[in-house]
Chains A and B, each alone.
Chain A
Amino acid sequence: MKPTDTSNPDYFHKVVDCQWACPAHTDVPGYIRLIAQGRFSDAYMLNRKSNVFPAILGRVCDRPCEPACRRGRVEEKPVAICRLKRVAADNRGDITDRLPKIPATKNGKKVALVGAGCASLAVANDLMPLGYECVMFEALDRPGGLMWTNIPAFRLPPEVLQEEIDMILNMGVDLRLNTPIESMQALLAEDYDAVFVGTGAPKGKNLEIPGRYDDEAHVHIGIEWLESVAFGHIDKIGDRVLIIGVGNTAMDCCRTSLRLGAKDVKVMARKPRGFFKASDWELEDAEEENVEIVINHSPKEFVIEDGKLVGMNFDLMEYDIDDNGRITDTRSVGEEFFPCDDVVLAIGQDNAFPWIERDIGMEFDKWDVPVVDRRTHESTLKGVFFGGDAAFGPENIIWAVEHAHQSAISIHKHCHGEDVADRLPDGMSLATVKMGIHEWSYSNDYEGAERMIVPHVSLAERFKQLNIEVELGFDAEQAATEVERCLNCDIQTVFAAKLCIECDACVDICPVDCLTITANGSEEELRGRLQAPATNLEQDLYVSGELPQTQRVMVKDEDLCVHCGLCAERCPTGAWDMQEFSLFHPHLKDELSPDAPGKFRKYGT
């Protein structure tokens, strides 16, 4: 193999599994260390820089970081990254004076933001400090989008949501509520320098099977129904409820039903477990509340008696599944009736843009959604940008935030006549964390504790009101232990081949056998003959240049390194060093300063 090119920021970035997996590339180990030091406000601000809504996300983030977390490979469960974010948010002090300053003199550019969901809000967060005038149009009477209409208050308390929305609105955003935009053409005719579309994916999918419209009052579309609940228009439901679909929306629907008085709630899944769209933790929370998940039942028809819904018929499904876990064959082996009083359809969302004229020069694809550039977020109509669920279909808050950061850069470039595609690349810096012979500026000892479990409000208590937050958050002791479970993956093992005397000390000490000094070879072949075979192909091998004494190479399998630093401690020559990696992932403000990569600094370092 060729020596690994560690000057490419992606190499060490990938080692920080959580940060790599986070769409906004939040510096997870960095903020966890700040929490460990009790520096909650610093931890909050480090989060806010990347993900804008730490208190919200510390409760409801989809957390793609956690399945990626190295700890989940080293032992069973990942670090409770999301819940630690909440610890930072819950314990922070007043950070008002640390929020971006808004210039009194504006820069003369005016941007229209359509929708007041997390995507538009995050765009405003990046544009306002530069003197932009942001006008935000919202069809409803409150800002927040699905975060308040759909994410139930028992997962995300309204005060928490409102506080972080206000941090942005208070920058001086011109928010116009109850103002649906009904024509893109008309909007474009106004004096805006750019338009950002953050209208989400507002259309809940329907289920066109017999009986669907025979008792409409008792068949609900999930996201519309949750919205009505949030508005207080709906405050009860029948005793027996069937939820169709087994994604995250279904989980919110079933748990909300229980709070509206349902006694028997079943989630009807077409496929077996393992094929569910809902996150494991959402399933767990629902099952804790005694929701029954019924697998292998495909909806067939609504059963109506005397104009009233009495139940549904389902096809009983059977699947052939191959060794790779893929379904190879499907058949119906019978039929089953489930009685119910109400049905909630939670089978997905679609984008819809009835308010965008099709003849204004904006290209739409075959699914009738606008063609949007993945990097710049620009549509084919110059100056019109899309982000959040409106851009590429329903995703989640953290993706919407990252779309917003990227869109803000594009909007700025567009407004200043620059090429939107000409953007700063990612960069990085590395700095040694050596403090003394065997001392590091991070806690390198391995914490053996298992993942802490967040305490919940008791089942008896939590259903009393619709808005009782179920999760209580970690107590101080739990947080103190959980932070130590983090393996500090950003503290990189950095190798200098020319210093190595091939004494084997590092190879001998490594607890997880990830180092090998051996003759070079092809990747496939090398992977098989390392100290321990490197079977996780998603994780890179770090291969050095030729070692001075024997011309062999040092190979590190990045897969299981626990970043204990022992290799560097036992190395007599400093050929291994532990160095803190800081990712430079440019935001709009970075685009403005010519020496941005060099200036980049983490909080706390």
Chain B
Amino acid sequence: MSYISKPKVTHPGLPRNELGMTIREYEGGMSTLCAGCGHDSVTRALVQAAFELSIPPHRMAKLSGIGCSSKTPAYFLRQSHGFNSVHGRMPSVATGANAANRDLFFVGVSGDGDSLSIGLGQFAHAVRRNLNMLYVIENNGVYGLTKGQFSASADIGSTAKKGEENLQPPMDPCQLVISLGGSFVARSFSGDKEQLVPLLKAGLMHDGFAVVDVISPCVTFNDHEGSTKSYQYTRDHYHPAIFADYIPPSEEIRAQYDEGDAMPVTLHDGSQIVLRKADPDYDPGDVASAIEYLQRHRDAGEIVTGLLYIDEQKPEMHALNKSVAEPMSSLPFQRLCPGSGALKSLQDRFR
């Protein structure tokens, strides 16, 4: 932990976004995580994504559970709303918040322990609900905060820092989410911001539950030889399948793409994601083929990254529930709570 905060000085040539803000205005408090923790890089990537999208900080809500990963919302967008919930229960709190104010950008930051162990049930149902939010799993194969126990994403045969081997099969959040009917599934690496930042931007703009599984090494408890979530191992087994370029609505697609390889997906606000396939036989719009591809490469020991699955047509929570278009938090009290008379007449309909 640093004793000083990041100096307020900046590079004089620092660019400004559409709101006239510099990236520094999207930062948060000083991180108290271990030096070199992958989570800090994901934090930085989120800062960059929000800055580049010119999101007004007060229009964003950050939510998390418990874990080192879950501490990170304190380190970005200091002017945003935030809620640090109970271990594994962030999806419920996020659901409530989103139900109340659908106009905010929601970002959840969770860990492999928070989402795949204690919070798996909550997580699975948020996927099914297609809650409109960006849900980042900072995946390091361990419970970092409690000193490095194996999590549900640890691979069979990988070892803890002191040599103990993991014998239980791992869970792949990406395969899981695709099979649960998720609408946006991506994987990336904290050490590859070129890939990560566009994915986070696409996830923020996606209309529905956008899961980004980020391999984010725990430098203190899981960055050793026997680890399969270390910086070195991730780089050695990195397999980018699809590159995603995020193109805001105001811009035209200018880059030249090879026909067949490029696949533009238009988002609800008119922005586009152009998917460039590294592998021509991969189809990120097809559930069966995506799951098959992920399993095949996982068996081969590869870490497949990129925007792995997307379906922009699936209705998100508010569409599913036909809720009002304006945020409930802005409705006049009378409309939100029509009184006992209205309740009675509703109940009468079921008699």
Name A's B-contacting residues (CB within 8 A). Answer: 74-75, 438-439, 444-446, 448, 501-505, 508-509, 511-514, 532-533, 535, 549-550, 560, 562, 564, 566, 569-573
The answer to whether B3 and A439 have CB atoms under 8 Å apart is: yes
Q: Contacts A438-B2, A501-B223, A508-B44 hold; do A532 and B235 have CB atoms under 8 A apart?
A: no
Known contacts A504-B41, A511-B8, A511-B24; can you find 18 more A-B pairs with CB under 8 A?
A75-B9, A444-B4, A445-B7, A446-B9, A448-B7, A502-B191, A503-B190, A503-B191, A504-B190, A505-B37, A505-B41, A508-B40, A535-B13, A562-B9, A564-B4, A564-B7, A570-B36, A570-B40
Decide: A501 near B232, CB < 8 A? Known: A511-B10, A532-B11: yes
A-B contact pairs, 10 of them (CB 8 A): A439-B3, A445-B3, A446-B4, A446-B9, A503-B38, A503-B191, A505-B41, A513-B14, A564-B7, A571-B36
Q: B232's closest neighbor in chain A, by CB?
A: A549
CB within 8 Å for A569 and B223 given contacts A503-B191, A511-B6: no
Interfacial chain B residues near A564, Cβ < 8 Å: 4, 6-7
User: Given the complex, which residues of A lie within 8 Å of B4, measured CB to CB?
Assistant: 444-446, 564, 566
Does B35 make an interface contact (CB < 8 A)? yes
B6–A550 CB distance below 8 A: no
Contact A570-B235, Cβ < 8 Å, known A501-B223, A508-B44: no
A108 CA to B328 CA, complexed, in Å: 99
Q: Is B314 an interface residue (CB 8 A)?
A: no
CA distance A569 to B2 in the complex (A): 7
User: Are A572 and B36 within 8 A (Cβ)?
Assistant: yes
Q: B231 near A446 (CB under 8 angstroms)?
A: no
Contact of B3 among A75, A438, A509, A549 (CB under 8 A): A438
Chain B residues, Cβ within 8 Å of A533: 13
The main secondary structure of chain B at its interface with chain A is loop
A176 to B219, CA, bound (A): 73
CB A69 to nearest CB in B, in angstroms, measures: 14
CA distance A503 to B13 in the complex (A): 25
Please tell me if the beta carbons of B1 and A503 are within 8 angstroms of each other in the complex: no
CB distance from B229 to the nearest CB of A (A): 13
Shortest Cβ distance from A342 into chain B, in angstroms?
47
Which residue of A has the minimal Cβ distance to B24? A511
- Which residues from chain B contact A439 at a C-beta distance below 8 Å? 3
Q: Are A503 and B10 in contact (CB under 8 A)?
A: no
Asked if B9 and A501 sit within 8 Å, CB to CB, the answer is no
- Tell me whether B87 is interfacial, beta carbon within 8 Å: no
Which residues from A are CB-within-8-Å of B239?
none
Q: Is B331 interfacial (CB 8 A cutoff)? A: no
Residue of B nearest to A571 (CB): B35
State the CA gap A502–B217 with chains docked (Å).
11
Q: B217-233 interface mask toward A, CB cutoff 8 Å, 1 = contact, 0 = none?
A: 10110010000000110
Which of B8, B14, B24, B36 has the most chain A CB within a 10 Å cutoff? B36
- The smallest C-beta distance from B238 to any residue of chain A, in angstroms, reads 10
8 Å CB contact of A503 from B3, B7, B217: B217
CA distance A566 to B37 in the complex (A): 15
Alpha-carbon distance between A85 and B35 when the two chains are bound, in angstroms: 38
Q: Would you call B34 an interface residue if the criterion is a C-beta within 8 Å of the partner chain's C-beta atoms?
A: yes
Within 8 A of A (CB), among B10-69: 10-14, 24, 34-38, 40-41, 43-44
A356 to B253, CA, bound (A): 79
The residue on A at minimum CB distance from B48 is A508
Contact (A550, B35) CB under 8 Å given A74-B9, A448-B8, A503-B217? no
Check if A438 sits within 8 Å of B41, measured CB to CB: no
Query: What number of B residues sit within 8 Å (CB to CB) of A?
Result: 33
Q: Which residue of B lies closest to A559 (CB)?
A: B11
Contact of B161 with A by CB under 8 A: no
A511 touches B13 (CB 8 A): no
* Alpha-carbon separation in the docked complex, A513 to B10 (Å): 8
| Least distance between B214 CB and chain A CB atoms (Å) | 13
Find chain A residues with CB under 8 A from B12 CB. Answer: 560
Q: Whose C-beta in chain B lies nearest to the C-beta of A510?
A: B6
Q: A439-B3, A572-B34 are in contact. Are A503 and B9 (CB under 8 A)?
A: no
For A514, the chain B residues whose CB sits under 8 A away are 11
A549 vs B223: C-alpha distance when bound (angstroms): 13
User: Do A446 and B35 touch across chains, with their CB atoms under 8 A apart?
Assistant: no
Given known contacts A502-B231, A512-B11, A549-B231, is B6 in contact with A566 (CB within 8 Å)?
Answer: yes
Shortest Cβ distance from residue A487 to the other chain B in the assembled complex, whole angstroms: 10
Residue of B nearest to A514 (CB): B11
Closest 9 CB pairs of A and B: A572-B36, A446-B7, A508-B44, A445-B4, A503-B36, A532-B11, A511-B7, A504-B41, A572-B35
Closest Cβ of chain A: how far from B239's Cβ, in Å? 15
Q: Are A512 and B1 in contact (CB under 8 A)?
A: no
A503 near B11 with CB under 8 A, answer no
Name the one of A446, A503, A571 contacting B41, with C-beta atoms under 8 angstroms.
A503
Write out the residue numbers on chain A whose beta carbons fall within 8 Å of the beta carbon of B14: 513, 532
In the complex, A572 Cα to B222 Cα: how many Å?
Answer: 13
Interface centre among B3, B14, B44, by most A CB within 10 Å?
B3
Q: Are A562 and B7 in contact (CB under 8 A)?
A: yes
Closest to B8 in A: A448
In Å, the complex CA distance between A573 and B35 comes to: 9
The reply on B128 being an interface residue by CB < 8 A is no
A535 / chain B contacts, CB cutoff of 8 Å: 13
Most buried by B among A445, A501, A549, A560: A501
The verdict on B193 contacting chain A, using a C-beta distance below 8 Å, is yes
- Contact mask for chain B residues 197-235; partner A; CB cutoff 8 A; 1 contact, 0 none: 000000000000000000001011001000000011001
Find the residue from A438, A439, A511, A564 having the highest chain B CB count within 10 A: A511
Residues of A within 8 A of B38 (CB): 503
Report the minimum CB–CB distance from A444 to chain B (whole Å).
6
Report which residue of B12, B34, B193 has the largest number of chain A beta carbons within 10 angstroms of its beta carbon. B12
Minimum CB–CB distance for B17 against chain A, Å: 15
- Shortest C-beta distance, A478 to chain B (Å), equals 21
- What separation, in Å, do the CA atoms of A128 and B6 have in the docked complex? 50
Contact of A512 with B10 in the complex, beta carbons under 8 Å: yes
> Complex formed: what's the CA distance from A518 to B89 in Å?
39
Q: Which residues of B contact A560 (CB under 8 A)?
A: 11-12
Hey, which chain A residues are within 8 Å of B3, CB to CB? 438-439, 445
**Chain B residue contacts of A513, Cβ below 8 A:** 10-11, 14
Nearest CB in chain B: distance from A501 CB, A: 5
Known interface pairs A549-B232, A572-B34, A572-B35; A505-B8 also in contact (CB < 8 Å): no
Within 8 A of A (CB), among B294-320: none
Assess the B6–A504 pair: CB atoms within 8 A: no
CB distance from A435 to the nearest CB of B (A): 11
- Given A501-B36, A570-B2, check contact A512 B9 (CB 8 Å): yes
A-chain residues with CB within 8 Å of residue B220 when the two chains form the complex:
572
Minimum CB distance partner of B219 in chain A: A572
- Say yes or no: B44 contacts A446, CB within 8 Å: no
**A514: shortest Cβ distance to chain B, in Å?**
8
Q: Which residues of A contact B2 (CB under 8 A)?
A: 438, 566, 569-570
A525 to B8, CA, bound (A): 29
Known: A569-B2, A573-B36. A503 touches B8 (CB 8 A): no
